[in-house]
Amino acid sequence: MRDKIESLQQQSAALEPDQKERAKIRDAVVKETEKFLNNIHDFEKSPTYFSKVNGKEIMDYPIADEPIGIEQSVRLITDNIDKTGITGSSGGHLGYIPGGGIYSSSLGDYWADITNSYAGVYFASPGGVRLENHLLNWMRDMVGYPDTTYGNLASGGSIANLTAIVTARDAYNIKGANVPEHVIYLSKQAHHCIDKALHIAGLRECVVRTIDLDDQYRLNIQSLEEQVSEDVKKGLKPFMMIASAGTTDTGAIDPIDEIADLADKYKAWFHVDAAYGGFFMLTNEGRKKFSGIERSDSMVLDPHKGLFLPFGVGVVLVKNGELMRKSFSYFASYMQDIVVQQGEISPADVSPELTKHFRGLRMWLPLMLHGVRPFRACLEEKLLLARYAYEALQKMEHVEVGPAPELSIVTFRFVPPGTDANDFNEALVKAIHDDGRIFISSTTIDGVFTLRLAILAFRTHLDTIDLILEILKEKAKELYK
Ligand SMILES: *Cc1c(COP(=O)(O)O)cnc(C)c1O
């Protein structure tokens, strides 16, 4: 048996490369990623969108006993992943809500992966759990929540919203039989991950009131007020009101203070989805625009959007944190006394996850290395870039702009006389995608095909905006002959 074990040990030794072998594979990865970074601002060399390559070659290499080595692997990644679809880390990414990918964050991930600290429970990594709670406390203070707050670094905004919704459900003691008498209010522009979360949380049979919009694409507060009082008359129970603090489509901020008043009046849970807009609270302007947000019961913000981190971290904060623990500290309830004694809540007790990526390090290291100041400046820059783009678009021929940007999303469309505007704008988006240098996306609001510039990538600067304005002009002219 010893022989057999020793032979297996030898065969598995490849999993533990020595220092020299580590250097070889690391250098190959660093070399290629450095090349990537050095070209990232050059939209000719490094387009933001590759419409014609699909990464199919990956499938030609089966997951098999025989390895293919670092060189071939690096080439496969470069050709089939980096050069397909949207370059998520590009400043030319002005579609959807762009992500980030700041370099220092990747080193936090590198560290977390190498040491593989288990930051799910305090016992296993007191420092890791403290670090994540320290970050959560920082965000708690930023949004003006009290110290009864608990939170969690989730994988993204969708899971963060789900976590808040499940907490609210349990706080209101909503169970199968009484689901249909409870009402949820949100606007037509609420993110679809909320619907998904309601489904997963078993709340699909709740009455969901989709409130119409005002002329700025915000939740229409009058309509909400009328709807709630009508529902109460009918004997229904207002359960939850959801505001978007920065909608994904247009960046509109729902009337937070007024919704908070109604939630108070009807004793409903007030949840704010600030996945896109939340970190604008680091800026003076954002602070003002989000006033009243501290009155909510729970909130979501996405560091992989507004803090420019690589994809994979969203935050949920719940003001009455104890409620979060009641919903999620299921399997580990035998540990609750220890947790309370230590004064540190463990992620596993307030989230659906048990074993998890130690996400804290990818967020903490950049904040320690750079301080908050450059993040604030970068966010302020984005607010101004949106205004700059808006002004330029207003002056552009045959362009109809949407409302002035509340945050960093600009909506507009071309309306050249004698053309079908919806068709024209659709063709224009396609032409911009084929060009590839800058990526934009479109949406349909009330049946109107609308173009948008979503400015949130940290690498988006004045020259990026000038370039997309140029491209828009050029492509519109080509199409409108
Ligand atoms: C992006 C976004 C979400 C979803 O978050 P993910 O991180 O993509 O899961 C939810 N709400 C809003 C307003 C968003 O912009």
Q: Is the domain of 392 the same as that of 328?
A: no
For residue 57, the CA-to-ligand 1 centroid distance in Å is 31
Q: Which residues of 66-83 are buried (b: 16+ CB within 10 A; e: fewer)?
A: eeeebeeebebbeebebe
pLDDT in tens, 215-255: 999 999 999 999 999 999 999 999 999 999 999 999 999 99
Last residue in a domain, options 346, 370, 394: 370
Q: Is the domain of 352 the same as that of 413?
A: no
CA distance 208 to 191: 14
Nearest CA to ligand 1 atom 5: 157
Question: Considering its fold, how many domains does the chain have in total?
Answer: 2
Q: Is the domain of 302 the same as that of 401?
A: no
Q: Is 271 in the pocket of ligand 1 (CB under 6 A)?
A: no
For residue 267, the CA-to-ligand 1 centroid distance in Å is 26
Report the candidate in 181, 176, 128 with the shortest Cα–Cα distance to residue 153: 128
For residue 406, the CA-to-ligand 1 centroid distance in Å is 18
- pLDDT at residue 340 in the model: 55
Question: Ligand 1 pocket test: which of 242, 276, 280 has the largest number of ligand atoms within 8 Å of its C-beta?
Answer: 276
Q: Provide mean pLDDT across the span 143-170.
A: 98
Q: Is 321 in the pocket of ligand 1 (CB under 6 A)?
A: no
Q: Is 120 in the pocket of ligand 1 (CB under 6 A)?
A: no
Q: How many other C-beta atoms lie within 10 A of the C-beta of residue 317?
A: 29
Please list, in sequence order, all residues whose beta carbon lies within 8 angstroms of the beta carbon of residue 461, skipping any fewer than 6 positions away. 91, 381, 385
pLDDT in tens, 36-91: 999 999 999 999 999 887 899 999 999 999 999 999 999 999 999 999 999 999 99
Q: Is 276 in the pocket of ligand 1 (CB under 6 A)?
A: yes
Amino acid at 215: D
pLDDT in tens, 98-121: 999 999 999 999 999 999 999 999
Ligand 1 atom having least distance to the Cα of 159: 9
Beta partners for residue 70, in sequence order: none
User: Which tokens belong to 106?
Assistant: 């990747």
Q: Is the domain of 274 the same as that of 316?
A: yes
Percent of the chain with pLDDT over 70: 97
For residue 157, the CA-to-ligand 1 centroid distance in Å is 5
CA distance 383 to 455: 8
pLDDT at 452 over 80: yes
Q: Is 254 in the pocket of ligand 1 (CB under 6 A)?
A: no
- 64 falls within a domain: no
Q: Is 191 in the pocket of ligand 1 (CB under 6 A)?
A: yes
Q: Is 273 in the pocket of ligand 1 (CB under 6 A)?
A: yes
Q: Is 250 in the pocket of ligand 1 (CB under 6 A)?
A: no
Q: Is the domain of 386 the same as that of 453?
A: yes
SS3 477: helix
For residue 193, the CA-to-ligand 1 centroid distance in Å is 7
DSSP annotation of 417 reads T
- pLDDT at residue 363 in the model: 98
CA distance 317 to 271: 10
Q: Are the beta carbons of 300 and 157 closer than 8 angstroms? A: yes
- 265 falls within a domain: yes
Q: How many other C-beta atoms lie within 10 A of the C-beta of residue 295?
A: 18
- 268 falls within a domain: yes
User: Which tokens belong to 45?
Assistant: 């060399």
- 151 falls within a domain: yes
Amino acid at 203: L
CA distance 261 to 289: 17
Nearest CA to ligand 1 atom 12: 275
User: Binning pLDDT at 50, 70 and 90, where does residue 335 land?
Assistant: low
CA distance 460 to 437: 13
pLDDT at 337 over 80: no
Q: Is the domain of 346 the same as that of 461?
A: no
Q: Provide mean pLDDT across the span 273-285.
A: 98
- 21 falls within a domain: no
Q: What's the mean per-residue pLDDT of the chain? A: 96
Q: Is the domain of 347 the same as that of 397?
A: no
Q: Is the domain of 226 the same as that of 310?
A: yes
Q: Are the beta carbons of 339 and 356 closer than 8 angstroms? A: no
Beta partners for residue 318, in sequence order: 150, 298
- 58 falls within a domain: no
Which residue has better confidence, 53 or 458? 458
For residue 276, the CA-to-ligand 1 centroid distance in Å is 6
Q: Is 158 in the pocket of ligand 1 (CB under 6 A)?
A: yes
Last residue in a domain, options 370, 401, 430: 370
User: Which tokens belong to 401?
Assistant: 């702009």
pLDDT in tens, 384-441: 999 999 999 999 999 999 999 999 999 999 999 999 999 999 999 999 999 999 999 9
Q: Is 314 in the pocket of ligand 1 (CB under 6 A)?
A: yes
Q: Is the domain of 215 the same as that of 289?
A: yes
CA distance 397 to 404: 18
For residue 375, the CA-to-ligand 1 centroid distance in Å is 20
- pLDDT at residue 354 in the model: 93
Residue 251: give its domain's CATH number.
3.40.640.10
Q: Residue 309 sits in which domain range?
A: 110-370
Q: Is the domain of 344 the same as that of 329?
A: yes
Percent of the chain with pLDDT over 90: 95
Residue 437: give its domain's CATH number.
3.90.1150.170
Q: Provide mean pLDDT across the span 346-365.
A: 96
Q: Is the domain of 283 the same as that of 384?
A: no
For residue 457, the CA-to-ligand 1 centroid distance in Å is 15
For residue 303, the CA-to-ligand 1 centroid distance in Å is 11
For residue 448, the CA-to-ligand 1 centroid distance in Å is 23
Residue 471: what are its φ and ψ, rounded to 5°? -60, -40
Please list, in sequence order, all residues whose beta carbon lies within 8 angstroms of the beta carbon of residue 337, skipping any fewer than 6 positions away. none
Q: Which residue has the tokens 């999620």?
A: 328
- 95 falls within a domain: no
User: Binning pLDDT at 50, 70 and 90, where does residue 334 land?
Assistant: low
Q: What is the pTM of this model?
A: 0.96
- pLDDT at residue 54 in the model: 87
Task: State the distance between the two ends of the chain, measured CA to CA, in whole angstroms.
Answer: 81
Ligand 1 atom having least distance to the Cα of 161: 10
Q: Are the beta carbons of 381 and 426 closer than 8 angstroms? A: no
Report the candidate in 212, 218, 190 with the shortest Cα–Cα distance to residue 406: 218
Question: Ligand 1 pocket test: which of 86, 302, 309 has the largest number of ligand atoms within 8 Å of its C-beta?
Answer: 302
- pLDDT at residue 481 in the model: 78
Q: Is 302 in the pocket of ligand 1 (CB under 6 A)?
A: yes
Last residue in a domain, options 370, 393, 426: 370
Ligand 1 atom having least distance to the Cα of 311: 7
Ligand 1 atom having least distance to the Cα of 244: 13
CA angle 291, 297, 299 (to 5 degrees): 70
- 418 falls within a domain: yes
Ligand 1 atom having least distance to the Cα of 156: 7
Q: Is the domain of 274 the same as that of 145?
A: yes
Question: Ligand 1 pocket test: which of 159, 189, 193 has the largest number of ligand atoms within 8 Å of its C-beta?
Answer: 193
User: Binning pLDDT at 50, 70 and 90, where does residue 333 land?
Assistant: low
